[in-house]
Amino acid sequence: MLLTPAAGGGRPAAPPVHGPALVADLARHGSATALVEDGHRVTYGDLARMVDDRAEALGTTRRLVLVAIRSTTTSVVDYLAALRGGHAVLLTADDDAVVAGLVAAYDPDVVLRPDAPVDERRVGTAHDLHPDLTLLLSTSGSTGSPKLVRLSRENVDSNAAAIAASLGLEPDDRAVTSLPLHYTYGLSVLHSHLRVGAAVVLTGLSVVDACFWDLVRAEAVTGVAGVPHTFELLARTGFTGAGLPALRRVTQAGGRMAPDAVRRWHETGRRHGWDLVVMYGQTEATARIAVLPPHLTGAHPGSIGRAVPGGELRVEPVPETADDPDAGELVYRGPNVMLGYAEEPADLALGRTLTELRTGDLGRQRDGVFEVVGRRSRFVKLFGLRIDLGVLDARLADAGLVAACAGDDDVLVVVVEREGLERGGAAGAGAVEAVRRRLAGACGVPGTVIDVVVADALPRLASGKVDLPAVRDLAARRRTTGGRAADPTAGAWGTARQPAHGASVEGLRALYAELLERPDATADSTFVGLGGDSLSYVEVAVRLEERLGTLPPGWHLTTVRDLAAAAHQDDGARRRGRLGGRLETSVALRAIGILLVVMTHSNVLFVPGGAHLLLGVAGFNFARFQLSAADRTTRVRRVGASLGRLLVPSVLWISVAGAVTGLYSPATALMLTNVLGPDGWGSAWHFWFLEAVVWIVVGVTALLSVPVLDRLERRRPFATVGMVLGLGLLFRFEVLALDTGPTIQTPQNLLWLFALGWAAARAATVWQRLAVTAAALLTVPGFFDNPLREALVVLSLAALVWVTGVPFPRVLSRVAGVLAAGSLYVYVTHWTVYPYLEDDYPVLGVLASFAVGLAYWQLVERVTRRVTLVRRQTQERRTAGSRATTPA
């Protein structure tokens, strides 16, 4: 049900001010820029009006409002409006599973999600909400945790003001969403900048993406926030901040960073004109607790600094630090300390249950600043010795290793990232043994109870923090299998090897890293998020199906972690998956389409329409992959990368074939036949399919780069594709006409068919699926003047709409997967193979066409991976050289 404003004549007055002052005072900053998204600027005055309008729609009855937030203007407006109206806001990530879990646990009255209708679950409220309750956040960055932190208006306002004062934020400052907004650190960036009238640039790009830094430069960003993992990623890319004249500060929080790394980044910033600001915080204190002034960083790189204005830190002795009189638990008192925790809806009625925060961190004070030395809750007991895992993590970090420890009273498990070992000049069993000896010496225990696991990457949360529960789960699995000696998943030198069914988180992450050439893949990565497209989709899908048995719907948008969890099904299902599975419909259609194209051209059979079938599939995949990007910049980058993978091998082959045979003009090779004409070459239209795909994708991407259309596509994706379909039908029925070539082979005349495939991907309801099916039945007949071709196209579109997977024997599904994955290359090369065999040996012509095409596919893949590897190694050598000469 949609929310509606209160009844009455005229426009109702703005809702009473109940929310934090930083929201109520938005309008006072007037024409200053508040938000920037994809080049579109929103002033504070406009933002205040948008927030008031949205708050008005939410009504004046105070309710529990769940806001699933992204780094977009509409999502931020939803969040601020809920605060503005005085509601209790439960903020979380925009993730189906997380939202479902919190809805089940807390039964919110309203659910607001990006690009989705308002879900008003009841009129009024089902909850007794304490008057001070303003914001609810998941604890410790573990999004979706049913244990929530209860925050008040005073908590939010005081911490925003304290952070702004600590950093010296001014109205001309400009931040960027380098961290997710549902994470308390990322949210505090938004709060503190709104507090002083500064601007925030909204983006979903990663700091390892060159486009992120292009955006930082173009928008004159003055501040970037990061957690330790952010800095690990930046170090791999050789980032120094050079060429960013507006950059003033880079803040670090979210966990301890090794003192040597702090010192290197501090010196790098000084050389390039920006400050490294080390900070310390917890969700329970609304965000940040302490700040290390940049001028003290060089002398105290292991420190967290001093309490933020209005706060007080002290060290309180605890039994764990009895042997160190200067150490104890860090205890914080200040106006930003939470009201308390909530573990069930009844807790939302509670007021303040504590006045100070026992952080759980062990620390000491030296020279007027504080440092963290361990964690009370992270202890194991081996041979009667109490071992602080946090201290071990810190020691390994100080040695240049990215690692995390876990265990119980029988075994200590440490997961170490491979790159750190190799960067130190060691590898193999010797490197693992060195880590084991280091830990054994630090703990005073035998090395036989220490198990070292080497992984490409530590499991991490969306915030970038190490996923300690996942590390503990690994330790528990190692414990139950007898540790290092008896663990059947242990590799030759301690590296975790795939379980029999190949569905471990690390195994799937490594598969993504290999097939998508993305070593930065994590447990929270998705196929689409890593830049996967229709060309890489088939190979990844087939390889995943071999490991998982059956792919879940929407797997390309599912995280590696969730795929691995879904794979832990019953043994019977896995056995059935080995004997037979389901081939994803678009993959099956690609295999069928290329078979029909080659067999029809070779005169083995006559079933025309294979290429047009593939065009519908191209539209289907365009919607799933390119249009799933979080912002326009990422969309354009993905489109460019995908077109590059299509064009480079195609243009290369056509150019060489044209030079050798004289069949093709330069216009054909450059996909310009539709623009320049065939120039007398009889074979000019051989590659009409490729040319149609290229120009349709380019045209649609340009169209959706218009901000208003981009926003419309995100909010109403099915309506938007309906508009594109309508435009295409104007050419289909010759209301508009461009005579540039054969009617059934030119981009403008095929836009409607591409749009039908796109609509099939966007059809989310039964009525929408029926609409797409009806559109195919009404528009395809009569276009080709060939009933067989038309029936094939209609059936393929209907399959995309209604059928998610096709039952296939395992052996045949692998063959179909290979044909589908190599379909582009077979299509490009078969024109120069089958004509020499079609008259006398048509079947041989088909076999030879596939053999040459698949061989060319493998050659291109190998060359591409080799080039990528060389480029990465060159970058790593440059980075290593930079580290050796300058502390960066």
> Where in the chain are the domains?
21-372, 383-497, 609-807
The string of pLDDT tens digits covering residues 5-27 is 333 333 333 344 468 999 999 99
The answer, yes or no, to whether residue 503 has pLDDT greater than 80, is no
For residue 477, pLDDT beyond 80: no
Buried b (16+ CB within 10 A) or exposed e, 719-746: ebbbebbebbbebbeeeeeeebbebbbb
3-state class (DSSP) for residue 7: coil
What is the pLDDT, as a whole number, of residue 732? 92
**pLDDT for residue 680 is more than 70:** no
Instruction: Single out the residue of 415, 388, 433 nearest to residue 472, CA to CA.
Output: 415
- Least confident window among 400-404, 565-569, 682-686: 565-569
Q: CA 809 → CA 581, 590, 697, distances in Å?
A: 6, 17, 34
Give, to the nearest 10 degrees, the angle between helix 534-548 and helix 810-821. Answer: 160
Per-residue pLDDT band at 725 (split at 50, 70, 90): very high
CB proximity list for 640: less than 8 A, separation 6 or greater = none
What distance lies between CA 339 and its chain's CA centroid? 32
The string of DSSP codes covering 521-553 is --TT--TTTTT--HHHHHHHHHHHHHHHSSPPT
Mean pLDDT of the chain: 82
The CATH code that applies to domain 21-372 is 3.40.50.12780
Higher pLDDT, 825 or 679: 825
pLDDT at site 886: 37
End-to-end CA distance of the chain: 54
Q: What is the largest CA-CA distance in the chain?
A: 93
- Is the pLDDT at 686 greater than 80? The verdict is yes
**pLDDT band of 385, cuts 50, 70, 90:** low
Give the mean model confidence (pLDDT) for residues 440-455: 74
Give me the architecture of the 383-497 domain, per CATH: 2-Layer Sandwich (3.30)
Q: Report residue 637's pLDDT band, with 50, 70 and 90 as the boundaries.
A: confident
Of the two residues 281 and 433, the one the predictor is more confident about is: 281
Q: What is the pLDDT of residue 207?
A: 87
What would the two tokens of residue 517 be? Answer: 């050439």
CA distance 173 to 621: 40
* Highest mean pLDDT out of 398-407, 424-433, 490-499: 398-407
Cα–Cα separations (whole angstroms), residue 627 to 500, 530, 533, 772: 36, 14, 11, 19
Write out pLDDT tens, residues 196-218. Answer: 999 999 998 888 888 899 899 99
pLDDT at 546 over 70: no
* Secondary structure (3-state) at 651: helix
